[in-house]
Amino acid sequence: MTSQEILLLIILAAVSVLLIQGRIRPDLTGLLALTVLGLTGLVTPQGAFSGFSSSAVITILAISIVSEGLHQSGVTSYLGRQMFRLAKRSESRLVFVTVLTAALLSLFMNNIAAAGVLMPAVIALSRQTRTPPSKLLMPLAFGTILGGMATLLTTSNIIVSDALRVAGYRPFGLLDFLPIGVFVVAGGALYLTFVGRKILPVRYPAGQLIRTERLHAELAGLYGIRKNLSELQVLDGSCMAGISLKEGDWARRLGINIVGISHGGRITFAPHGDEIVRVGDILIVQGEVVPSEVEICGLKILPKQKTPREVADENTTLGEVVLSPRATLGGKTMREINFREKYRLNVLAIWREGQPLTEGLGDIPLRFGDALLVQGSPLQMRLLRDERDFILLEEDPDTVLQPNKARKAALIMIAVLGIAAVGWLPVAEICLVGALLMILTGCLSMDDAYRSIEWKAIFLIAGMWPLGIAIRSTGLADALTNSVLGGLAHSGSGWLAIGLLAGGLCLAQLLGAQVASIVLTPIGLTMASIAGANPRAIGMAVALGCSLAFLTPLGHPVNMMVMGSGGYSFRDYLKVGGPLTVIILVIVVIGLKVFWGI
């Protein structure tokens, strides 16, 4: 070996140790690798920074924005709700639907984004059906990985595809992974439903409630909201029918606050003051209801429900705000500052001196130190962050901010997938167009677009990218092929593919799928050249091998995401992921033989 090759091996070993130990953040490790490679002259300055302009980075960046647009518009929430309705209370069906839903979303979303969108729904489902979250969260994580193996739009597949392009070969198309991926998803789903489900532990870890549910439940319980709710039906001839809530002046006339209106069975929470009250409507009200007063107004008090009424849903959230030290509202009432009209939020209670105040809120002068429980749309709640008079203590990250943009977001996603599938434009370019359209059509703001990007992954990939260039340019790929893997390269394309599958599997457990694909791809392409094998087929083997991240939580970030909430240990991943890995390996080997001629 030359001195350059030995130096590169030392750098590669050091990077591997840092990634495995985890004492330094992976993205920082990537930047350190980039810097060292540039300073030692193993790559040119242009090559050192080429990762930031690679189509892999652009695609991942754009997909993150598109995914956030789908999330904020409610497309992914709607899809999740519809599919989870199929689950009912059967544990096997719950697991099956969870895996398929996760796989479906990860076909057109980043795996991390897909898991992040579905994780709240899965935990809520486990609570509703009294199924241990440990029975559903690992299938969720594995489902996103399985679905990612069926599409180009997952990190390791994008990296390998771009490496093919750089090496002068035709990159993968959007549907190239689908023939094998369909059988991978089916095999994985059946295993997890009928076998893996029985191996999964039964655990109810502390802190399993998701932030959204915890926020709503704690706030509603703390302020005693549900104890003070009543339902009124608007009768024919009511003096309150046919006029808006603002004109009815319910707080002044009857001393109650309207928190929701049910019209035709559909409930609208935090209704606006311009909402018209109609005969037959059922009003969810807060405050002390005086029977004689409401009867005079043509309203009927309905019996109390056995199950406490909720005051929030996917389009309406609860939040807690306090008066800012710079506020000029001290001593003023809600009515005087026109809080509801100005902010389009409903004040449900005021927390003062350790006690909640829930009656006559419009006429209570505000004091410094007061906290307000408010109800309204997530978008209006977010606008409070820019108000100098109030401090928003906590906001719900999982509610739908732009429900009226769902159709536009869905059409943009369908167009992106369709154009990418037929190959009219490069995947990176069409994904970037889709991201821009999400912003221009108002599906999300530019600030939210920046926040949605997984910058850690961007810097990790861009920082590690020069490693792949150095492995090729210094001749290390050829040296490793000749000295270590030379026999494999001459054993035929089938054994070569199996060897690279095994190599990708091992590297992914230690370094993660992203780094494993960057390191292994140039070696695999060099070996394909020596063996006379189809480089795209070998690239497919590398990509799928690096995606087999089921054995340890280190293999993929989604495994780490669910580890705490599911109460999993390293051993749990090995027990459940071991047989799954064997099954998927067999399917992949057969698929490479059938569809790629290896």
**Residues 363-380 pLDDT 10s:** 888 877 677 888 887 777
What average pLDDT does this structure show over 68-95? 78
With a cut of 80, say whether residue 579 has pLDDT above it. Answer: yes
H or E element that contains 335? helix 334-337
Q: What tokens does 305 get?
A: 């429900």
Q: What tokens does 224 get?
A: 């005693």
With a cut of 60, say whether residue 94 has pLDDT above it. Answer: yes
- Pick from 284, 278, 274, 247: nearest CA to 263: 278
Residue located via tokens 């409070």: 384
Specify the pLDDT at position 564: 64
Specify the pLDDT at position 206: 42
The residue length of the chain stands at 598
3-state DSSP assignment of residue 411: helix
Q: Specify the fold of 211-397.
A: Alpha-Beta Plaits (3.30.70)
Pair 221, 348: CB distance under 8 Å: no
Specify the pLDDT at position 386: 67
* Residues paired with 446 in a beta bridge: none
Pair 125, 94: CB distance under 8 Å: yes
Residue 209: pLDDT band by 50, 70, 90 thresholds? Answer: very low
**Long-range contacts for 249-253 (Cβ within 8 Å, ≥24 apart)?**
250/285, 251/335, 251/360, 251/361, 251/362, 252/362, 253/297
What average pLDDT does this structure show over 243-264? 83
Residue 99: pLDDT band by 50, 70, 90 thresholds? Answer: very high
Average pLDDT, the chain: 81
**Cα 259 from Cα 240, distance rounded (Å):** 16
**Cα 527 from Cα 121, distance rounded (Å):** 45
Residue located via tokens 């109030």: 390
**Cα 25 from Cα 29, distance rounded (Å):** 6
Specify the pLDDT at position 153: 79
Q: What are the boundaries of each domain within the chain?
A: 3-207+425-596, 211-397
- Of all residues in the chain, what percent carry a pLDDT higher than 90? 19
Specify the pLDDT at position 161: 92
With a cut of 90, say whether residue 186 has pLDDT above it. Answer: yes
Report pLDDT digits (tens) over 521-535.
888 888 888 888 899
**Cα 187 from Cα 191, distance rounded (Å):** 6
Specify the pLDDT at position 262: 85
Specify the pLDDT at position 339: 83
